[in-house]
A and B are shown apart, each in its own frame.
Chain A
Amino acid sequence: MARRLLLVLAALVLAAAIPVCAIEVPVSAYTLRNGLRVLIHEDHSAPVVSSYVFYRSGSRNETLDQTGIAHLFEHMMFNGGKKFGPGVFDDLIEGNGGSTNGYTTKDLTAYLNNFPREALPLVLDLESDRMANLAITQQNLEQERGIVMEERRLRIDNQVVGAMSESLSLASFVRSPYRWNTVGFMDDLERITLEEARAYFHTYYAPNNAILVLAGDVEPEPTVRLVDRYFGRIPRRPPPAPVDGREPVQDGARRVTVRKAAELPALLMGWHGVGVNDPDRAPLDVVERLLADGDSSRLELDLVREHELATETAADNSWTIDPELFTIYAQAAPGKTLAAIEERIDAVLRALAEKPVPPEELAKAKTRLRADLVRSLKTVSGKANRIGFAEVVFGDHQALTRVEKEWEAVSAEDVRRVVAKYLGPNQKTVVVLDPVKPGGATQ
Chain B
Amino acid sequence: MRALVALLVGLASVATAGEFRLPSVTRLTLDNGLRVVVAEQREVPLVEMQLLVGAGSAQDPKGDEGVAALTARALTRGAGERSAVELAREIESLGGEISAGAGTDATIIGAEFLAEDFARGLGLVRDVVLAPRFEKDEVRRARDDQASTILATLEQPSAVADKCYAAFLYGAHPYGRPSDGSIGTVKELGRGDVRDYYARWYHPNNAILVLVGAVSADEALAAIRQTLGGWASRPDAVPVRAAAPAPITARKVLLVDKSDATQTQIRFGNISISRSSPDYLVASVGNTILGGGFTSRLIEELRVKRSLTYSAWSMFSARLLGGDFRVGTFTKSPTTLETLQLALSVEDEFRRTPPDAKSLQKAKEYLSGQFPLRLESPEALAAKLAELEFHGLPQDELTTYQSRVRAVSAADVAAVAERDMPSTDRVAIVVVGKASEVKAPLEQAFGAVETVPAAECDSLARGPK
Stretch binding the partner chain, chosen from A214-222, A400-408, A414-422: A214-222
Contact A95 B44 (CB under 8 A): no
Taking the complex as formed, is A31 at the interface, i.e. its CB lies under 8 A from any CB of chain B?
A: no
Contact A334 B148 (CB under 8 A): yes
Taking the complex as formed, is A54 at the interface, i.e. its CB lies under 8 A from any CB of chain B?
A: no
Please name all residues of chain A whose beta carbon is closer than 8 Å to the beta carbon of B17 when the two chains form the complex: 47, 116-118
Taking the complex as formed, is B156 at the interface, i.e. its CB lies under 8 A from any CB of chain A?
A: yes
Taking the complex as formed, is A331 at the interface, i.e. its CB lies under 8 A from any CB of chain B?
A: yes
B residues 67-119 with Cβ under 8 Å of A?
84-85, 88-89, 91-96, 112, 114-117
Contact A378 B44 (CB under 8 A): yes
Taking the complex as formed, is B260 at the interface, i.e. its CB lies under 8 A from any CB of chain A?
A: yes
- Separation of A90 and B299 alpha carbons in the complex (Å): 11
Closest to B94 in A: A367
- Separation of A369 and B115 alpha carbons in the complex (Å): 17
Write the nearest CB–CB distance from B362 to chain A, whole angstroms.
4
State which of A95, A143, A293, A441 has its C-beta within 8 Å of the C-beta of B92.
A293
A residues 237-280 with Cβ under 8 Å of B?
260-264
Write the nearest CB–CB distance from B136 to chain A, whole angstroms.
15
Contact A367 B95 (CB under 8 A): yes
Closest to B295 in A: A90
- Separation of A293 and B148 alpha carbons in the complex (Å): 20
Contact B88 A296 (CB under 8 A): yes
- Separation of A45 and B21 alpha carbons in the complex (Å): 9
Please name all residues of chain B whose beta carbon is closer than 8 Å to the beta carbon of A117 when the two chains form the complex: 9-10, 13, 17-18
- Separation of A150 and B262 alpha carbons in the complex (Å): 10
Taking the complex as formed, is A120 at the interface, i.e. its CB lies under 8 A from any CB of chain B?
A: yes
Please name all residues of chain A whose beta carbon is closer than 8 Å to the beta carbon of B44 when the two chains form the complex: 5-6, 9, 374, 377-378
B378-418 Cβ-contact flags toward A at 8 Å (1 or 0): 10000000000000000000000000000000000000000
Taking the complex as formed, is B15 at the interface, i.e. its CB lies under 8 A from any CB of chain A?
A: yes
Taking the complex as formed, is B453 at the interface, i.e. its CB lies under 8 A from any CB of chain A?
A: yes
Taking the complex as formed, is A167 at the interface, i.e. its CB lies under 8 A from any CB of chain B?
A: no
Please name all residues of chain A whose beta carbon is closer than 8 Å to the beta carbon of B454 when the two chains form the complex: 438, 441
Taking the complex as formed, is B450 at the interface, i.e. its CB lies under 8 A from any CB of chain A?
A: no
Contact A440 B92 (CB under 8 A): no
Taking the complex as formed, is B155 at the interface, i.e. its CB lies under 8 A from any CB of chain A?
A: yes
Stretch binding the partner chain, chosen from B56-64, B302-310, B342-350: B302-310
- Separation of A46 and B295 alpha carbons in the complex (Å): 26
A145-173 Cβ-contact flags toward B at 8 Å (1 or 0): 11111110110011110000000000000
State which of A119, A225, A380 has its C-beta within 8 Å of the C-beta of B376.
A380
Contact B18 A440 (CB under 8 A): no
Contact B9 A120 (CB under 8 A): yes
B17-49 Cβ-contact flags toward A at 8 Å (1 or 0): 111110000000000000000000011111000
Stretch binding the partner chain, chosen from A97-105, A127-135, A202-210: A97-105
Taking the complex as formed, is B361 at the interface, i.e. its CB lies under 8 A from any CB of chain A?
A: yes
- Separation of A160 and B8 alpha carbons in the complex (Å): 51
Contact A48 B372 (CB under 8 A): yes
Please name all residues of chain A whose beta carbon is closer than 8 Å to the beta carbon of B20 when the two chains form the complex: 46
Contact A46 B85 (CB under 8 A): no
Closest to B114 in A: A13
Please name all residues of chain A whose beta carbon is closer than 8 Å to the beta carbon of B5 when the two chains form the complex: 118, 120-121, 226
- Separation of A127 and B131 alpha carbons in the complex (Å): 55
Contact B155 A262 (CB under 8 A): yes
Contact A368 B92 (CB under 8 A): yes
Closest to B366 in A: A94
Please name all residues of chain B whose beta carbon is closer than 8 Å to the beta carbon of A436 when the two chains form the complex: 260
- Separation of A153 and B241 alpha carbons in the complex (Å): 42
State which of A116, A142, A294, A380 has its C-beta within 8 Å of the C-beta of B307.
A142
Contact A97 B148 (CB under 8 A): no
Taking the complex as formed, is B365 at the interface, i.e. its CB lies under 8 A from any CB of chain A?
A: yes
B288-315 Cβ-contact flags toward A at 8 Å (1 or 0): 0000011100000001101111100000
- Separation of A334 and B81 alpha carbons in the complex (Å): 32
B220-250 Cβ-contact flags toward A at 8 Å (1 or 0): 0000000000000000000000000000000
- Separation of A279 and B304 alpha carbons in the complex (Å): 46
- Separation of A78 and B293 alpha carbons in the complex (Å): 14
Interface size class of A (residues with CB under 8 A): 35 or more
Contact A334 B92 (CB under 8 A): no
Taking the complex as formed, is B327 at the interface, i.e. its CB lies under 8 A from any CB of chain A?
A: no
Interface size class of B (residues with CB under 8 A): 35 or more
Please name all residues of chain A whose beta carbon is closer than 8 Å to the beta carbon of B369 when the two chains form the complex: 96-98, 115-116, 119
Contact A94 B258 (CB under 8 A): no
Taking the complex as formed, is A355 at the interface, i.e. its CB lies under 8 A from any CB of chain B?
A: no
Contacts A378-B378, A438-B258 given: A6-B373 contact, CB under 8 Å? no
Please name all residues of chain A whose beta carbon is closer than 8 Å to the beta carbon of B332 when the two chains form the complex: 149-150, 153
Contact A154 B330 (CB under 8 A): yes
Taking the complex as formed, is B370 at the interface, i.e. its CB lies under 8 A from any CB of chain A?
A: yes
Write the nearest CB–CB distance from B454 to chain A, whole angstroms.
7
Write the nearest CB–CB distance from A16 to chain B, whole angstroms.
8
A residues 335-373 with Cβ under 8 Å of B?
360, 363-364, 367-368, 370-372
B196-226 Cβ-contact flags toward A at 8 Å (1 or 0): 0000000000000000001000000000000
Please name all residues of chain B whose beta carbon is closer than 8 Å to the beta carbon of A29 when the two chains form the complex: none
- Separation of A98 and B372 alpha carbons in the complex (Å): 11
Write the nearest CB–CB distance from A200 to chain B, whole angstroms.
20
Taking the complex as formed, is A44 at the interface, i.e. its CB lies under 8 A from any CB of chain B?
A: yes
Taking the complex as formed, is A61 at the interface, i.e. its CB lies under 8 A from any CB of chain B?
A: no
Contact B263 A263 (CB under 8 A): no
A residues 1-48 with Cβ under 8 Å of B?
2-3, 5-6, 9-10, 13-14, 42-48
Please name all residues of chain A whose beta carbon is closer than 8 Å to the beta carbon of B157 when the two chains form the complex: 158
Contact A158 B263 (CB under 8 A): yes
Taking the complex as formed, is B11 at the interface, i.e. its CB lies under 8 A from any CB of chain A?
A: yes
Contacts A143-B307, A217-B12, A367-B95 given: A295-B85 contact, CB under 8 Å? yes
Write the nearest CB–CB distance from A81 to chain B, whole angstroms.
17
Closest to B15 in A: A47
Closest to B21 in A: A46
Told that A10-B115, A98-B366, A121-B1 touch, could you supply 18 new A-B pairs with CB distance under 8 A?
A: A3-B42, A47-B13, A47-B15, A47-B19, A90-B293, A91-B295, A99-B370, A114-B373, A116-B369, A144-B307, A159-B156, A264-B148, A294-B92, A295-B88, A379-B377, A380-B376, A438-B260, A441-B455
Q: Residues of A with Cβ closer than 8 Å to B?
A: 2-3, 5-6, 9-10, 13-14, 42-48, 78, 87, 90-91, 94-101, 114-122, 142-151, 153-154, 157-160, 217-219, 222-223, 225-226, 260-264, 293-297, 301, 305, 308, 311, 331, 333-334, 360, 363-364, 367-368, 370-372, 374-375, 377-381, 436, 438-443
Q: Jot down 23 A-B pairs with beta carbons below 8 A, ordered by A.
A: A6-B45, A6-B214, A13-B95, A13-B114, A14-B116, A44-B12, A47-B19, A78-B294, A94-B295, A94-B366, A99-B366, A120-B5, A143-B307, A147-B307, A153-B262, A226-B5, A260-B260, A311-B148, A334-B151, A364-B92, A367-B94, A378-B378, A442-B453
Q: Residues of B with Cβ closer than 8 Å to A?
A: 1-2, 4-6, 8-13, 15-21, 42-46, 84-85, 88-89, 91-96, 112, 114-117, 141, 144-145, 147-149, 151-152, 154-157, 214, 257-263, 293-295, 303-304, 306-310, 330-332, 358, 361-363, 365-366, 368-370, 372-373, 376-378, 453-456
Q: Lowest 3 A-B CB distances belong to which pairs?
A: A97-B369, A146-B307, A371-B95
